[in-house]
Amino acid sequence: MLVCEVMSSPAVTFRPGDAVRQAIHALYDNHITAAPVLGDHGELVGMVSEIDLLCGEFDAGASPKRVGDVMSRTLVTVAETTEAATLIDLMVHKRIKTVPVLRDVELVGIVTRRDLMAVLTRDRD
C-alpha cells in the first residue's frame, strides 16, 4: 500500500503570518493535531502542532504570536509513492504523529496515525 492511498488531501495549511489563535481554532474545528505551514510560493516551510500553538498562546507576557514564531522548521516528509510500511517505520523511529506528503516539492497531502488506523478499520473481516 502506498502513502497516496492513505493520505488526507487537501491538507489544512497555514502561512507563517497567520495568528496563533486562528490556527488553534482551525486545528480544533478540523479535529487535527498538526498542519503544514506554507511559504509565499506554496513551498513547505514548517509544521505547527497543538503543543507549538499552546506554548505560543500561553507564553506569559509575550505579544500576540504568529504561526511562523512557533512552528517547527525541522521537517520529515515522504513522497506519495512511499510504501505505507516505510512511513510507519519512520513515524515510530522519529516519534512523530503527522507527516506531510510531497510530489517533488509540492504539498499534496498529509498522513496522520489516525489515517493509518482508518485503513485497519476498513480491512475488517
- pLDDT per position as a tens digit, 43-80: 999 999 999 988 887 776 666 689 999 999 999 999 99
Q: Which three cell numbers stand for residue 114?
A: 489516525
What mean pLDDT is predicted for residues 96-109?
Answer: 94
> Please, what is the Cα angle at 48 between 117 and 60, to 5 degrees?
125
Can you give the pLDDT at residue 58?
A: 78
What mean pLDDT is predicted for residues 74-90?
Answer: 93
Can you give the pLDDT at residue 27?
A: 95
Q: Which residue has the higher pLDDT, 115 or 124?
A: 115
Q: Which three cell numbers stand for residue 105?
A: 516539492
Residue 7 gets the label, from left (phi > 0), alpha (psi -120 to 50) or beta, of: beta
Can you give the pLDDT at residue 14?
A: 97
What distances in angstroms separate CA 20 from CA 88, 104, 108, one per listed residue? 29, 29, 24
C-alpha–C-alpha distance, residues 14 and 67, integer Å: 8
Q: Which residue has the higher pLDDT, 48 or 116?
A: 48
Tell me which residue has cell 493535531: 33
Output the average pLDDT for the chain: 90
Can you give the pLDDT at residue 82?
A: 95
Can you give the pLDDT at residue 106?
A: 93
Can you give the pLDDT at residue 38?
A: 97
Whether the pLDDT of residue 123 is over 70: the answer is: no
